[in-house]
Amino acid sequence: MGIWLPTTEAEIETVTSAGTAPEGHFLDFKRELGSTPGSRKETAQDIASFALDGGVLIVGVDEPEPGTYKLSPQPLSDLSERAEQIAANRPDPGLYVRTAIIPSRDNPSAGYLVVEVPPSPAAPHMVDGRYWGRSERTKRQLNDAEVARFHAARARSDTKVLEALEEELARDPEPRPASRMLFVAEPLVADGGLARSFVRGPQTAVRELTQGVENRVPGSVREYSPTPWELSTSVRRAKGIALTGLAEGRKSPSEAFLSETATDIEVQTSGAIRGVMSRLTYLEEHPRVPEGTKRVIEGLPIAWSHRLVAWAGTLGEQLMYRGPWGFGVHLYGLEGVCAAPRDERGMRILSSRSLPVYEVATFQSTTTASFQEIQDDPLAIVDRLIGDFIHSLGVSSRYPDCFPGQ
């Protein structure tokens, strides 16, 4: 889908004055956001209508007659904030949108607002008890049969991520270590060959993808080993290509240390990202620590969750896929673990003092995110994905760059 995203008043003027404005299923013009409850409701309906397939609403262009457009620059003060508040608060569930301001040449304090609405993993969205979608040129109310069909599709998307995790558990490389993290990212509205060009490209493509986004991983967890930089082998597989530290046949290495840190990242022809990361836990052996104390390296699942989200965003950009993604993680070997104590400077210390003990063997979580949220707010996605686990360990405050405000 090609989306028109103007960046200057001249672009808008050229298209509207020539009568060639590409208004339709993916684009609509609006004179103003609205200042009354009724007009704000209409704007919310416009935004919600784009959530199924994605689209753009441009504020500051009037349409006095069908097909006839007139520039009508609006005061820019708090215009973006108002649009974002309408999108977040009026539709149910709320919508994440990206906004951009275009000042007018004649009066820079006035201009236009471009509201980009991504395809939403939670679509369809309701406004005042009614669900909205798009016809060829305008918004329309969805009928009951359409709503039921879209809800069924959304349920299938949720199931898709869970099924992906089940597949990864079934093919978890043997022999299994004491603990491991499995992770998946699924493009939710793409055809089965989304990443065919990527997979058929250079065998080193996964290395370039993963190592190219390391600067997006928060500094407090970026250096926890293993990292993608430690993976040396690029291989082709039945469903895609991989960067791996596993042995031939996707087996855990026979060497003890290599097996302990065995990691694998695979991009499949479908666009799915699948992988495993070992070395989640260790036994701490020291006279000042009770025998059998099992520690968790909590920075690792945070770091790898950030990587997973960043890879999906970058792969989506490369493949021109702007649809929603589903993410999932599964951690096992956790029963009885706790985080290592630290002193007031944040330095790890040996101590008999114990933090909360995680009492179950596994942690599993899934979430969905729009393309815009992946680009603009990855912290929120990672929080939904792994935050509950980190909070249960009582250590989220150690990572303010990962969990702001905790």
What CA–CA distance (Å, rounded) separates 298 from 342? Answer: 13
| Contact (Cβ atoms closer than 8 angstroms) between residue 188 and residue 218 | no
Point out the least confidently predicted range of 25-29, 235-239, 289-293, 322-326: 289-293
Question: Please, what is the Cα angle at 116 between 111 and 121, to 5 degrees?
Answer: 160
% of residues, the chain, pLDDT over 70: 95
Band (pLDDT 50/70/90 cuts) for residue 23 is: low
Q: What is the mean pLDDT of the chain?
A: 90
Phi and psi torsions of 191, nearest 5°: -75, 170
- Number of CB atoms found within 10 A of residue 245's CB: 22
Its sign, for the CA torsion 114, 119, 121, 122, is positive
Band (pLDDT 50/70/90 cuts) for residue 21 is: low
pLDDT tens, residue by residue, 237-257: 999 999 999 998 899 888 877
What CA–CA distance (Å, rounded) separates 178 from 248? Answer: 21
What CA–CA distance (Å, rounded) separates 276 from 254? Answer: 17
| Omega cis (within 30) before 73 | no
pLDDT tens, residue by residue, 66-89: 778 899 999 999 999 999 999 999
Which pLDDT score, from 0 to 100, does residue 349 have?
60
Structure token pair of residue 140: 């329309």
DSSP 384: I
Mean pLDDT to the nearest integer, 115-130? 91
Structure token pair of residue 109: 């304090």
Which pLDDT score, from 0 to 100, does residue 2 have?
60
Element (H, E) at 386: none
Which pLDDT score, from 0 to 100, does residue 344 have?
60
When mean pLDDT is compared over 12-16, 151-155, 402-406, the highest value belongs to 12-16
Phi and psi torsions of 264, nearest 5°: -150, 135
What CA–CA distance (Å, rounded) separates 92 from 381? Answer: 19
CATH 3.40.30.10 for domain 9-142, yes or no, is no
Is a pLDDT exceeding 70 seen at residue 116?
yes
Is a pLDDT exceeding 50 seen at residue 1?
no
Which pLDDT score, from 0 to 100, does residue 285 have?
79
What CA–CA distance (Å, rounded) separates 371 from 387? Answer: 20
Is a pLDDT exceeding 70 seen at residue 346?
no
- Domain boundaries of the chain, sorted by first residue: 9-142, 155-398
Which position has the higher pLDDT, 314 or 323? 314
Helix, strand, coil percentages (3-state) for the chain, rounded to 5, are 30, 25, 45
Is a pLDDT exceeding 50 seen at residue 325?
yes
Structure token pair of residue 107: 């009066």
Band (pLDDT 50/70/90 cuts) for residue 101 is: very high
| Omega cis (within 30) before 175 | yes
Which pLDDT score, from 0 to 100, does residue 406 have?
65
